[in-house]
């Protein structure tokens, strides 16, 4: 954080993500109040995932072809412009879907460029520590943005939410006005689709990326299931009201905030793949304890504590995953790899949401809870076991060389 360039990027990322959380809270509330339909509200969430998949080729190539800081600045300005229809929304609910799709599409451009710029600014030896600090910012933005989105909507409706959203995006843009970063050293004259396919070829020939990608998809499906199962767990199993849903959804960020700072120290001792493996394994175990906890108690305080603790391995796992991806390919291909990874995560999350939604009436909540936790555990075990097997395979070669 003593590096002014990284500090500016951190601030811009924090403000941008705060704005995203404001809309993610306010728009579903608006749709649900207007339609009374849970299906329409779920559709709003899915609309926020689709652009990450469709824009993956464009996002990755742009991140590797243009000046990344300038791209981030343009995205922040574009997000404010795309949200302006909210001022004239009234009873025209479909405008909310259009705005959500536009915001998600621009966010799909933001993420690969930001994370590729991190590698450029801090270098590979400090990348995990930098990701940990960015993870802390993400958790703070989750707390602040979710609270602001709900508060401003309650006080003044969607117009007030837009005003707050535009304000935080302006702050992000101001942080990005200072000159830092460079244009990627690539001519970028070939078609975007061809360059994106070349980036995919790197994944096909890298065993480490295959392992990471497989584990990542299992985690994404599990996360999608969580998004669907969390609400009935709180409302029906714990018997807590809607205020409890917001409380328990937000407190996880408290543990994540502490973990993000601790990762900077952990990064000096633990490889990113091991961080991901142990983080995912621990998160899955804690999830199983949480889902099965009502057999013992439904006291709200117990689950506040459990969800706070879950935030720690959650950030450790996500930081390890991101650092593994950022250091697996040459810097010139980082944006394309990251955009592909984010698209795969969006697909896996959507698949998990569909599986959980269809399974509630057929399989039942208890079985789905255990499947969701098991996917996280299996994801972590797979990475750790593969890493250990690779280490054993490399030992004889080292001995022969000596």
3-state secondary structure of 227: helix
The reported pLDDT for the residue numbered 244 is 66
Return the closest-CA partner of residue 114 out of 57, 143, 74, 166.
74
Q: What CA–CA distance (Å, rounded) separates 85 from 361?
A: 38
150-160 in b/e form (b: 16+ CB < 10 A) is bbbbeeeebeb
pTM of the model: 0.70
The phi, psi pair for 191, rounded to 5°, reads -60, 150
Cα 186 from chain centroid (whole Å) = 28
- Ordered domains of the chain (ranges, CATH): 1-177 (1.20.1250.20), 195-395 (1.20.1250.20)
**Cα angle vertex 103, ends 213, 319, to 5°?**
35
Structure tokens belonging to residue 66: 């243009």
Q: How many residues does the chain have?
A: 402
Q: What CA–CA distance (Å, rounded) separates 323 from 255?
A: 20
3-state secondary structure of 186: coil
The reported pLDDT for the residue numbered 401 is 38
The reported pLDDT for the residue numbered 165 is 92
- Judge whether 137 and 10 are in contact, CB under 8 Å: yes
Distances (CA, A) of 33 to 36, 172, 197, 205: 6, 31, 43, 49
Cα 219 from chain centroid (whole Å) = 12
- Judge whether 109 and 192 are in contact, CB under 8 Å: no
Q: What CA–CA distance (Å, rounded) separates 175 from 69?
A: 10
pLDDT tens-digit profile, the chain (402 residues): 788 899 999 999 999 999 988 887 777 777 767 776 656 666 777 777 777 777 777 777 777 778 888 889 999 999 999 888 888 776 677 787 888 888 888 888 888 888 888 888 887 778 878 887 887 788 788 778 877 887 888 788 888 888 999 999 999 999 998 877 666 655 455 655 666 666 666 666 677 778 888 899 999 999 888 877 887 888 788 887 655 666 777 777 788 777 776 776 666 677 888 889 999 999 999 999 999 999 999 998 999 999 889 888 888 888 888 888 877 777 667 777 777 787 788 888 888 888 887 787 788 888 899 999 999 999 999 999 987 766 555 444 444 333
């Amino acid at each position: 954080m003593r590096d002014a360039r990284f500090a500016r990027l951190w601030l811009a990322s924090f403000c941008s993500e705060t704005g995203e959380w404001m809309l993610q809270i306010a728009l579903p509330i608006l749709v649900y109040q207007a339609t009374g339909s849970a299906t329409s509200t779920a559709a709003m969430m899915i609309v926020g995932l689709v652009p990450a998949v469709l824009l993956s080729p464009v996002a990755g190539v742009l991140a590797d072809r243009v000046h990344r800081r300038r791209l981030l600045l343009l995205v922040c300005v574009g997000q404010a412009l795309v949200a302006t229809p909210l001022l004239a929304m009234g009873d025209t609910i479909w405008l909310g879907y259009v705005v959500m799709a536009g915001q998600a599409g621009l966010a799909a451009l933001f993420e690969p460029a930001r994370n590729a710029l991190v590698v450029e600014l801090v270098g590979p030896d400090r990348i995990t520590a930098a990701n940990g600090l960015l993870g802390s910012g993400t958790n703070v933005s989750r707390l602040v943005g979710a609270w602001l989105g709900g508060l401003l909507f309650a006080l003044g409706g969607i117009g007030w939410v837009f005003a707050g959203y535009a304000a935080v995006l302006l702050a992000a843009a101001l942080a990005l006005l200072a000159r830092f970063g460079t244009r990627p050293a690539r001519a970028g004259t070939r078609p975007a689709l061809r360059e994106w396919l070349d980036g995919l070829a790197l994944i096909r020939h890298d065993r480490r990326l295959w392992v990471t990608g497989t584990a990542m998809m299992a985690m994404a499906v599990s996360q999608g299931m969580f998004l669907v199962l969390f609400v009935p767990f709180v409302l029906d199993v714990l018997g807590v009201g809607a205020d409890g849903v917001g409380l328990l959804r937000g407190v996880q960020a408290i543990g994540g905030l502490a973990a993000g700072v601790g990762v900077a120290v952990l990064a000096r001792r633990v490889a990113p793949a091991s961080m991901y493996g142990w983080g995912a394994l621990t998160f899955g175990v804690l999830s199983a304890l949480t889902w099965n906890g009502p057999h013992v108690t439904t006291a709200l305080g117990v689950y506040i504590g459990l969800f706070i603790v879950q935030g720690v391995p959650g950030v450790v796992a996500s930081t390890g995953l991101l650092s593994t991806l950022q250091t697996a390919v040459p810097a010139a291909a980082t944006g394309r790899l990251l955009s592909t990874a984010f698209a795969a995560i969006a697909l896996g999350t959507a698949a998990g949401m569909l599986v959980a939604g269809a399974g509630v009436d057929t399989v039942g909540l208890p079985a789905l809870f255990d499947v969701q936790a098991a996917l996280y555990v299996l994801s972590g075990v797979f990475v750790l076991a593969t890493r250990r097997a690779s280490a054993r395979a490399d030992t004889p070669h080292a001995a022969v060389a000596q």
